[in-house]
């Protein structure tokens, strides 16, 4: 039995990366794992752009640093760009709710999957939510009809220290009934 | 190194459950793992109601079966109810976007974490998105100010066969640049 807890404890936002290329095969494996993520009615409302050619990596990094934050992203060696696709729900359900009703949650789950598979392979990731959308859309030729959900920076972490995770006390977030 | 791919391949929507109670400690461990999920600005916009007392489990199951779908949910032995909480973003970011801008994605990720930790412990789960919200809110005393995001049915699977996963062809969901 795989130990999810161990993986959840180890995965953290990586903010310093080694100057070491990420193998294409490892990036492909992240997509293969993410593809298996569950979604509402198995609608899979996602697609991915994997950015790995150095010049484009550098341009994508700039779109995440335009607010003067996230400067460490300049060290990342690749990016996953998570794109929202139209969700085809089961007819029985599609007649009741908007096609994208569950999509944001599904996209959040698929993004976590990408990060967990990367962690399994010894790669660091950092999820970035704010970026220059028009510029990123143009760089990656993403149609206006698709939302750009999140960007995930990828690379080999330059250290292996797992920092303490700061979370709300467990008793404050759960009730048992 | 934990193998996330193995876990992603094994986890599936469980639609038949054994008549076997789920240990409280295992449910707690699922919450402990989910609590570690990354979120925007570490905002952790979630709380959980864990339903395990048999009478209430039965009542909650009914709220998911009111549309005449999900009848197998009546076999589940526990539920995680994932509740949306207000996200406190970093001031630098909170001045630009709504507090809940990233919350749905974070809630999707935390729901996947619950399912993965359950799978690690040999438990089956099924994520349910449509349920009688007013009734569930009343049963669990969830304030009107909080959204009920998803319900996760939990129990021991009555079989161990991993079904084939049907997903879009990988080449149709990814571009490499």
**Whether residue B108 has pLDDT greater than 60:** yes
> Which residue, B28, B45, B32, is CA-closest to B108?
B45
Of the CATH numbers 3.20.10.10, 3.20.20.210, 3.40.109.10, 3.30.450.80, which one belongs to the domain with range B13-159?
Answer: 3.40.109.10
The first and second tokens of residue B37, run together, are 């999920």
**Whether residue A98 has pLDDT greater than 80:** yes
Contact across the interface for B2 and A1, Cβ inside 8 Å = no
How many secondary structure helices (H) and strands (E) does chain B include?
Answer: 6, 5
d(CA A52, CA B77): 46
Provide the 8-state DSSP code for B177: -
| CB of A95 less than 8 A from some CB of B | no
d(CA A51, CA B120): 32
Mutate to test the interface with A, among B45, B89, B147, B176 (most CBs of A within 10 A): B176
Residue with tokens 């752009």: A49
d(CA A108, CA B58): 30
Residue with tokens 């999957």: A113
The first and second tokens of residue B106, run together, are 């974070």
Say what the pLDDT of residue A1 is: 45
Per-residue confidence band for B1, with pLDDT thresholds at 50, 70 and 90: very low
Average confidence (pLDDT) over A15-31? 97
pLDDT in tens, B134-165: 999 999 999 999 999 999 999 999 988 999 99
Say what the pLDDT of residue B160 is: 83
Provide the 8-state DSSP code for A78: E
Q: Answer whether B48's CB lies under 8 Å from B80's CB.
A: yes
> Which residue, B47, B14, B16, B18, is CA-closest to B118?
B14
The first and second tokens of residue B14, run together, are 């469980």
What is the rounded average pLDDT for all residues in chain A? Answer: 95
**What order do you get walking across the sheet with A46-51 strand by strand?**
A124-128, A148-155, A78-84, A46-51, B174-176
d(CA A34, CA B4): 10
pLDDT in tens, A104-139: 999 999 999 999 999 999 999 999 999 999 999 999
Contact across the interface for B8 and A33, Cβ inside 8 Å = yes
d(CA B67, CA B60): 14
The domain locations on chain A are 27-144
Q: Which A residues, 103 through 142, put their C-beta within 8 Å of a C-beta on chain B? A: 104-109, 111-113, 115-117, 119-122, 127, 129-130, 140
Which is more confident, A91 or B23?
A: B23
Give Cβ neighbours of residue B36 (< 8 Å, ≥ 6 apart): A8, A9, A165, A167, B113
Share above pLDDT 70 across residues of chain B, in percent, rounded to a whole number: 99
Residue A11: count of CB within 10 angstroms of its CB: 23
pLDDT in tens, A45-88: 999 999 999 999 999 999 999 777 888 999 999 999 999 999 99
Q: Which A residues, 33 through 52, put their C-beta within 8 Å of a C-beta on chain B? A: 33, 35-38, 40, 42, 44, 46-52
Average confidence (pLDDT) over B49-67? 95
d(CA A107, CA A111): 6
d(CA A132, CA A148): 11
Residue with tokens 């489990």: B57
Residue B16: count of CB within 10 angstroms of its CB: 11
d(CA B90, CA B32): 24
| CB of A65 less than 8 A from some CB of B | no
The reply to whether ipTM tops 0.90 is yes
Contact across the interface for A170 and B35, Cβ inside 8 Å = yes
Mutate to test the interface with B, among A37, A80, A108, A154 (most CBs of B within 10 A): A108
Quickly name the fold that domain A27-144 has.
NADH Oxidase (3.40.109)
Burial bucket for residue B122 (CB in 10 Å: 0-12, 13-18, 19+):
exposed
Q: Write the residue in B31, B107, B168 that is nearest to A174 by C-beta.
A: B31
d(CA B177, CA A52): 6
The first and second tokens of residue A137, run together, are 């859309």
Q: β-strand B174-176 against A46-51: which pairing, if any?
A: parallel
| CB of B164 less than 8 A from some CB of A | no
d(CA A138, CA A47): 17
Which is more confident, A85 or B71?
A: A85
Say what the pLDDT of residue B2 is: 58
Burial bucket for residue A25 (CB in 10 Å: 0-12, 13-18, 19+):
exposed
**Whether residue B67 has pLDDT greater than 90:** no
Say what the pLDDT of residue A69 is: 80
Residue with tokens 């750009």: A148
How much is the CA Rg of chain B, to the nearest whole Å? 17
Q: Answer whether A38's CB lies under 8 Å from A105's CB.
A: no
């Amino acid at each position: 039995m795989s130990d999810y807890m161990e993986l959840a404890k180890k995965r953290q936002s990586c903010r310093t990366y080694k100057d070491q290329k990420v193998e294409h095969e490892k990036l492909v494996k992240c997509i293969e794992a993410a593809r298996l993520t569950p979604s509402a009615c198995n609608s899979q409302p996602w697609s991915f752009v994997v950015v790995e050619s150095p010049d484009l990596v550098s341009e994508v990094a700039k779109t995440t640093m335009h607010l003067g934050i996230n400067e460490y992203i300049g060290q990342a060696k690749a990016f996953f760009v998570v794109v929202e696709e139209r969700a085809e729900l089961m007819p029985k359900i599609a007649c009741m709710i908007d096609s994208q009703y569950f999509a944001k949650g599904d996209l959040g789950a698929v993004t976590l999957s990408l990060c967990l598979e990367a962690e399994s392979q010894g790669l660091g990731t950092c999820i970035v939510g704010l970026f220059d959308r028009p510029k990123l859309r143009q760089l990656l030729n993403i149609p206006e009809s698709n939302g750009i959900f999140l960007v995930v920076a990828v690379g080999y972490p330059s250290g292996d220290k797992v920092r303490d995770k700061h979370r709300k006390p467990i008793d404050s977030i759960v009730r048992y009934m």
